[in-house]
Amino acid sequence: MKFNMAFLTPCSILLSILGTANAASVVLWATTSDGWTEEDPTRSCFVDTRVTAFGDGQPGGAEDYFKVATTKWHSSGLQFGCLQKDASWNCIASCFDNGANPTFSTYGYLTFLAKVEGDFSPVGCQPTVGLGKRWPMYASNNIQLNGAYVQHGELSDTEFRQVVIPIQDFATLEWPDLSDVKTLTFKSCGTAYSFAATYKITDVQLTDDPPPLLETGAPSPVPSVHVGPWITNIWNSADDSHTVEDVATSCLTHGEAYITTTSAHDDIFFDGLHDYFTASPDKYRSVGVMLGCQGKDANWVCNKSCMPWDGTNPDFTEGYLTFLAKVEGTFTDTCKPAVGFTGGGWPRLSSNNVVMEHEYVDFGKLVSDEWRRVVIPLADFKTPDWDMSSIYAMYFQTCGMEHVGSQPSYHVTQVQIWDVQPELIAPPPTIAPTVQVTESPQLATHRMVHHHWYPLLGEIHDSSTWYYVSGGTWPSIPTEAPDQSIVVVIPMGESVSFSSYDETKYDKVIVYGSLTIVPNGVDVLLRPGTLVVEMMGTLVIETLEMSETVTIEIDAALDRDADPQETMVGIISLGGNIRVHGNESSKKMAKLITTASVNTMQLVVEGDVGDWSTGDEIILPDTQEGLDVGHWNFPNNEPNGYTDQTEIHSIASVVSDSNGNSIITLATPVSYEHTANAHAGHITRSIKFVTSPTSSDRGHILFTGMGSMEFRNARIEEFG
């Protein structure tokens, strides 16, 4: 097999519901009785009751609502359609209109009542809802539950508030008709946040006649205090790239040769969530966004205005500039991404240019592959000559004529001015991180690699004994060394070949240079807790059609204090290169000609099985009938419990019969019946990755998306 691996983004756990339709509206969820399939009132349509519940937690509770308690990894919501079909392909477990998947665009609006709990911030996580299609599995636009969609502009944690969303706001270019809707999902905030959103939802409907959103009451004699920051938007969407009066007049400097706008719908390179502009300075000029009046009529009245859209030039004398950005370019000590302003009337004045790094940016620097927040006090732009009044333009800076290499290219969105300082949102390396980054690098304990924190590996962070490969020789390890107490390091520039059957239980093997694992007359065993391939490091495991085998056996315990994101234990590539090539198996599977009965020791399979031989292992699948296998969590849904009847057996002998088929004699009798036409799988491979039975935690294979990873003809057992 060959696969490329990356971190899984947070998965969605969903719950199913019942609905009835009429010409003007359809009720998707209104009472606790809507939480069960139409055919069986004892079978829940909630996919995972760990994250969903009724009202007060019991059917028939005081209030009819369902609660969606998301986690960092799991979203939750409503599922439509058929959950199970019988042998004739008739739906026997449906959660909407006899198993149909609704077309939302038949109606004008989605409405529901909602409460929400969570530590929400205007620039951080927001309560959000989205749709999913049955097939192909498209996703809709995600709708943030605030502003014009919600009564009083935002959800509350103390009272149900009305939500009204025009259906077409969910539509995308891929999925314009919103047909065959499978899921309605209330979204998790993800792993970057220390809290998880909890939604309480009721009265979910599709309708052409939505209820009005109730406004707040009349102003009181003593105005209420404004809650939250005052935010001034500079650039949030493609519509902000031209004047309000004339779409042909740009609010971006220097034209498309230097600055372009990308709609979220057209975004194939980034995340598809934001409109953004790309500012590409050359060595002569900086580029950016113009503000204020860009044209006047014969009476000297502004008729082409950019932000603040009234013909005036704004004053940015107090507050904080904030935006999301990505950046590309050849950066050096004298060329770094920077931003500045011009304005102050005529002649125009220039602000200080602020380099976007350190305390101004998430994680201390901008990168090319993820949005990071920038927060700059406006006071830092001020000069003795200019107080930042009457702003004319905001510029993303060139590195000038003397810079060798590519100039910066800035991707920017959500440009705003706040009256209070937004917090930089950076996933912590520990459960309770300090806010201030330590001044000495030697005091750091973690590093960021492609969105996730990994423990720093080094002798100052580790109580194990460290050995280093030198001159291409694997170090000699004392036989009395305790288990998981040794770390072996292959330094950069070193290459070593490992061909031993070594029963030492290593803590870690860390590859900065090159490690080749290949048999040399004997089977190979290596038993690391974690095998780490660092940036530019190379791990090659091959058997080269030899009869000898290679086994990598993981045996370790996670340290959740030092590694709260559980990145260690297993095979870890932090930008390195891994190539695993086992011997080719001539035939992967063979069909059973006859049913294998309980206690039989012989299987008759179709055709020649090639290189299957004595001692090899085969797997026989579970062929029980009547199980709800269409449900991913089906073992937990079986009322009488579920016994897995999958079996692994060793081959005692293989012979051919007169019909050209193969008779396989097993070393032990089968325990369960396996019906004809099922397939026996050949699972013996010359290279095997396995978690040891004595290991406290299962190993995993982790590829960060950088470097390369290729696995062919290898067996991976008890991982994940």
Whether the CB-CB separation of 374 and 356 falls below 8 Å is answered with yes
pTM: 0.45
Looking at 207, 222, 245, which one is the last position of a domain?
Answer: 207
> Could you tell me if residue 288 is inside a domain?
yes
Query: To which residue do tokens 């590829």 refer?
Result: 703
Q: Are 552 and 513 part of one and the same domain? A: yes
Domain that holds residue 184: 15-207
Q: Phi, psi at residue 331, to the nearest 5°?
A: -105, 140
CATH, residue 677: 2.40.30
Looking at the predicted structure, is the pLDDT value of residue 16 above 70? no
Residue 599: name the closest of 649, 652, 669, 663 by CA: 669
Q: Are 104 and 64 part of one and the same domain? A: yes
Q: Are 377 and 516 part of one and the same domain? A: no
Looking at 157, 172, 207, which one is the last position of a domain?
Answer: 207
Q: Phi, psi at residue 560, to the nearest 5°?
A: -75, -15
Q: Are 368 and 501 part of one and the same domain? A: no
Task: Map residue 407 onto helix, strand or coil.
Answer: coil
Looking at the predicted structure, is the pLDDT value of residue 93 above 80? no
Q: Are 603 and 497 part of one and the same domain? A: no
E-strand ranges in 337-408 read: 338-343, 349-350, 354-355, 372-377, 391-396
Q: Are 526 and 594 part of one and the same domain? A: no
pLDDT value at residue 457 = 85
> Could you tell me if residue 128 is inside a domain?
yes
Q: Which residue would you say has higher pLDDT here, 386 or 634? A: 386
> Across residues 3-27, what is the average pLDDT?
41
Three-class secondary structure assignment of 144-197 = ECEHHHEHHHECCCCCCEEEEEEHHHHCCCCCCCCCCEEEEEECCCCCCCCCCC
For 175-225, write each residue's pLDDT tens digit. Answer: 889 999 988 989 887 655 667 789 999 999 999 988 887 654 333 343 333
CATH, residue 275: 2.60.120.430
Q: Are 306 and 202 part of one and the same domain? A: no
> Could you tell me if residue 567 is inside a domain?
yes
CATH, residue 30: 2.60.120
> Could you tell me if residue 335 is inside a domain?
yes
- C-alpha distances in angstroms, 397 versus 281, 326, 340, 595? 7, 14, 7, 73
* Residue 684: partners with Cβ closer than 8 Å, 6 or more residues away: 585, 615, 616, 617, 715
> Could you tell me if residue 624 is inside a domain?
yes
DSSP string, 464-491: SEEEE-BTTBPPP--TTPPTT-EEEEE-
Q: Are 498 and 563 part of one and the same domain? A: yes
> Could you tell me if residue 449 is inside a domain?
no
Task: Map residue 441 onto helix, strand or coil.
Answer: helix
> Could you tell me if residue 500 is inside a domain?
yes
For 126-171, write each residue's pLDDT tens digit. Answer: 899 999 887 776 778 889 898 889 998 899 999 999 999 999 999 8
pLDDT value at residue 10 = 31
Q: Which residue would you say has higher pLDDT here, 70 or 437? A: 70
Q: Which residue would you say has higher pLDDT here, 272 or 387? A: 387
Number of folded domains in the chain? 4
Q: Are 155 and 250 part of one and the same domain? A: no
> Could you tell me if residue 87 is inside a domain?
yes
Q: Are 569 and 614 part of one and the same domain? A: no
Whether the CB-CB separation of 81 and 103 falls below 8 Å is answered with no
Q: Are 671 and 705 part of one and the same domain? A: no
Q: Are 188 and 295 part of one and the same domain? A: no
For 677-687, write each residue's pLDDT tens digit. Answer: 999 999 999 99
For 486-511, write each residue's pLDDT tens digit. Answer: 999 999 889 999 999 999 999 999 99
